[in-house]
Every structure is written in structure tokens, then in C-alpha cells.
Amino acid sequence: AQSVAQPEDQVNVAEGNPLTVKCTYSVSGNPYLFWYVQYPNRGLQFLLKYITGDNLVKGSYGFEAEFNKSQTSFHLKKPSALVSDSALYFCAVSPGAEYNFNKFYFGSGTKLNVKP
Amino acid sequence: GAGVSQSPSNKVTEKGKDVELRCDPISGHTALYWYRQSLGQGLEFLIYFQGNSAPDKSGLPSDRFSAERTGGSVSTLTIQRTQQEDSAVYLCASGSSYNEQFFGPGTRLTVL
């Protein structure tokens, strides 16, 4: 069965410190991987994606994520957190092109709290 | 440019009534998705349309839920005989091929 896991419901970090939001997946084929952010009372916004190529992808607002095939992970990172990064983060996975690649599976979300 | 729009933004209804939620996707996007997000929870997949293919309805929670997409564009999600547990934010997204999905602002449904 296809699934995405975000093992932490909440991550707390001090402003200026590095942050990591974890995501692991179980999806058939070569997956396409995404991170989305949801600010309070707002819709989801795209942050970054991995389709192929370099395992380290860079996205919006200084975020980056590293695809690790052997660990089936796609952790979201940022070198220096901002208070404005506080939001709900979702990892999403879509199975590879040989499958129904337009079906997306979302994790349960991780609430990031950045304290000043 | 125009993004995904949803209407209404808020809907309050009484238990047992039917509701229709509308989604206008980004022009040219062949894929359209409906999700449900309960308070503080993740996204629950409901249904997915891709071009002229039969929709993937595997996420619809009961036969009270249905959706259609007319002319490959606008989509309507219908909930019949609403129940209190249907209260949630209903999100629509559109996309193409394996690109990221673009989400609408959602419709907050409250069933009294």
C-alpha cells in the first residue's frame, strides 16, 4: 500500500537555528516527492519538488529537501529558521510515471513552531 | 494570473440538507483533485479527475458524496443528507502531468 509518514506532529525550533521536518514514504516505482506549506486560514502552497536528478532540491523561502532513496526519505530542511516559517507542512508523494502518477498521497502534516 | 477558485468560501447548513461545493481549476490543467481537511488534521483524498478518464473515486467516504467535472473544467462536489461529521474544509487542487498541484483556498463546511 502507498503511504507517507510524517513522524512528528510538531517541531519546535528557535529562530536562527536549523530546522528539519521529516518525511518517509512507501510508494511503488520511482516516486515524485513534494513539500507544501499551509499558513493559518490559507490554502496549501507549493514549496519544492523532486522528480529526478540531483537529490538535493531547493525551493521557496530558503527551504531545501534531500531525496534519499535507500532510506525512502525526503526531509525538509532550512539552515536558519524564521518566526514567519511557523506553519503546517505537508509531505506528498506520487508514484512514478509507470503508475498512476497523478495520484498524490499526503502525510498527516507537521506543525512547525519557530520561537523568537 | 488566475489560480484555483472555490465557492462558497464558507457554508453553514443543517444536518440532512444537501450541499454543492464548486471548484474552478486553472485553465488548461487536466487533473483536478478534491480533498477534505478536518480541523488540525491532514489531507484526506476524496476524488481525482484526469482528462477524459474515469475519475478515481476511491477516497469518497460514503455514497452520500459525489463529484462531477463538466467539460473538463469546473467541478462540483455534492454531499447529500449532510451529517455533522462532514464538517471540514474541502480543498480543490488542479495540476498537469507530474507537476505540483495548485490548491484553492477551500470551502469551510459547517453542519449544524
Convert the pLDDT of each residue in A34-49 to its tens digit: 999 998 877 899 999 9
User: Of B30, B43, B44, B57, which to mutate for an interface test with A (greatest number of A Cβ within 10 Å)?
Assistant: B43
CB atoms B106 and A43 under 8 Å:
yes
Whether the Cβ atoms of residue B109 and residue B19 lie closer than 8 Å to each other = yes
CA atoms of B33 and B18, how far apart (whole Å): 21
pLDDT band at residue A83 under the 50/70/90 scheme: very high
- Choose the closest CB to B43 out of A90, A94, A101: A90
Convert the pLDDT of each residue in A51-78 to its tens digit: 888 999 999 899 999 999 999 999 999 9
Residues in a beta bridge with B36: B44, B90
CB atoms B105 and A104 under 8 Å:
no
Convert the pLDDT of each residue in B6-64 to its tens digit: 999 999 999 999 999 999 999 988 889 999 998 767 788 899 998 888 898 989 999 99
The whole-number pLDDT of residue B41 equals 72
Non-local CB neighbours of A41 within 8 Å, separated by 6+ positions = none
The whole-number pLDDT of residue B80 equals 98
CA atoms of A41 and A11, how far apart (whole Å): 20
The whole-number pLDDT of residue A114 equals 97
For chains A and B, what is the number of CB pairs under 8 angstroms?
A: 54
Instruction: Say if B33 is an interface residue toward chain A (CB within 8 Å).
Output: yes
In chain A, residues with a C-beta closer than 8 Å to the C-beta of B102 are 46
